[in-house]
Structure 1
Amino acid sequence: MASFHHRIKSGRKGSAKEHAAYIERLGRYSDREDLVYAGNGNMPDWTEGNPATFWKAADTYERANGAAYREHVIALPNELSLEQNCALAMRLARELVGNKPFQLAVHAPEGSLGGITNLHMHLMYSDRVPDGIGRPPERMFARYNSERPEDGGCRKDSGGRSPMVLRDQVISTRKKIADIQNQALEEHGLNARVDHRSLREQGLQRRPERHLGPARIKGMSDSEKALFATLRATGSAGGPPRSATLATS
C-alpha cells in the first residue's frame, strides 16, 4: 500500500511572502535543488499573476490576529511518475481550495534513509473567498461587510467552528485527498492505494513509524541507517505510540 501523509498548517500575518519564497525555493532558499514543479491559481488581477505580490499584500493588509495563509503538506505516491504527480498536485489544489487564491510547489528531496525520494507538495492558499467584486489589495483583506459586501473585504472561509466541526472537517479533507490520489493511481493502471485512516482504524496492529528527524538521522552510523531502512520496509520501524509525521523540506 502506498503511504499517506497529510498535515495542515497556517501562517500568521507577516510570514506569507517568506514562506512562499521557501516553498518555491526563491531568494535565500535557491540553493535547495529539490523543487520539481511550481504553480498558482485564482490570483486577483492586481497581482498580474505574481503570487509574491498577493502574499506581500496579505502580510500588509490582513487583520492583525488573522492568518495570512493556510497550507496543506501532502505526500505524493512514488508509484506515479514525476509528470503524473505534478498533474496530481494541481488536481489536488483545485479540488481542495476551489476558487481561493493558491500557490503550490512539489519537492522531491532524497530521503535520509533508504535513498527513497520523499516526494511531497506544499499548497498555500488564502482563506479569502472571491465573490466577483473587484477590490484593491487594501480592501480585499479588510473585514467582511455582510450588508454591503462591496464596502468590505472578501469573506474568510474560516472561524466560528466548534472543535467537533473542525475535527470532522479535517477527517473529510483527509478522505478527499486519499480518494483523489487513489483515483489517479487507478487511472494509471496501478494497484497501489493510500488510506487516510489511522492504523487502528484500518485494523492493523503495528505501531506508527517513529519519526527520527534530520538531526537524529545525521548522528546515526551507516549500519544503523541500513537497519532502520530494513525495519521500515517490513513495517517494523515503530516506536512509542504516536501519530506518524512527514519529514518534509
Structure 2
Amino acid sequence: PEFADRSILWNSVEQIEKARDSQLAREIEAALPRELSGEQQLALVRAYVKDNFVDKGMCADFAIHDKGTGNPHVHIMLTLRPLKENGQWGAKCRKAYDLDENGQRIPDGKGGWKNHREDTTNWNDKGNVEIWRAAWAACTNRALEAAGHPALVDHRSYKRRGIDKIPSVHLGPAASQMEKRGIRTDKGEVNR
C-alpha cells in the first residue's frame, strides 16, 4: 500500500539495486484518443495497466499529459523486479547451472560450476512490445466503441497492413511549434 506514493515506490526500486548501471524501470508511452474525455482516458489507462502489467506482478506508475495542444498521451513506468506477497522485491534473475547430456553440472575448471543467468520473469523479452502494442490497440478500440466513436486504432505499420503509404515522422514539440510559426524544419520537410 505504501507504493501508492510514487516517491516511496521509486526510492524503494533504487535502494534494492546494487549495481550502479542497473536498469530500474521500463517506460511505455502511448497516445490517448482525443475522442475520449479525460475521465474516459483515465479509465482506459487504468484498465490497460491493470490487465497487462499489474495483474502480472509489476508495479506500474503512470502520468497522463494533456496540455490541450491535441497530443494527449500517457507515460507508464514499470518495475522490472517482481513484488513478492510479503511486499519485498524479488530477484530479476537467478543463477542456473549448465548441464551436460546426463543432466550433471559441468565443472568450470576453477573449482566451481559453469553457469549462466536466467531472468525470473519474461518482462524484458523484446517480444512483449508487440503483445503490449496489440493490447493497447484492443483496449483503446473497446473504449472508443463504448464511448460511441467509430474510430479504430491499429498497432501495425502501414506496410504490415498492406497500405501503400509512407508514414509521417513525429515532429515533437519543438519542431511542431516552429512549423506552426511558419518556420520550416527538416522533419516537417520529410512529412511534406
Q: How high is the TM-score relative to the length of structure 2?
A: 0.71
Aligned to 2:81: 128
Amino acid at match of 2:35: E
Aligned to 2:121: 157
Query: Which structure would you say has the larger RCO, counting Cα contacts within 8 Å and 6 or more residues apart?
Result: 1
Q: CA deviation at 1:159?
A: 7.1
Question: CA 1:220 to 1:78, structure 2 compared with 1: closer, same or farther past 3 Å?
Answer: closer
Q: CA deviation at 1:145?
A: 6.7
Contact 1:61 1:142 in 2 (8 A): no
Identical pairs, percent: 28
The 5 Å alignment of 1:220-235 reads 220=179, 222-223=181-182
Q: Is 1:173–2:128 an aligned residue pair?
A: no
Rounded to whole Å, the distance in 2 between the matches of 1:174 and 1:61 is 29
Rounded to whole Å, the distance in 2 between the matches of 1:48 and 1:223 is 46
Amino acid at match of 1:119: P
Amino acid at match of 2:157: S
Alignment root-mean-square deviation, CA:
3.1
Contact 1:76 1:120 in 2 (8 A): yes
Matched length: 164
Aligned to 1:87: 43
Question: CA 1:190 to 1:219, structure 2 compared with 1: closer, same or farther past 3 Å?
Answer: closer
The 5 Å alignment of 1:71-110 reads 71-97=27-53, 98=55, 99-110=57-68
Question: CA 1:160 to 1:50, structure 2 compared with 1: closer, same or farther past 3 Å?
Answer: closer
Rounded to whole Å, the distance in 2 between the matches of 1:71 and 1:59 is 16
Identify unmatched segments of 5+ residues in structure 2.
96-118
Amino acid at match of 2:172: G
Larger Rg computed on CA atoms: 2
Identify unmatched segments of 5+ residues in structure 1.
1-44, 112-116, 147-154, 230-236, 240-249
Aligned to 2:7: 52
The 5 Å alignment of 1:23-38 reads none
Q: How high is the TM-score relative to the length of structure 1?
A: 0.56
Amino acid at match of 2:76: L
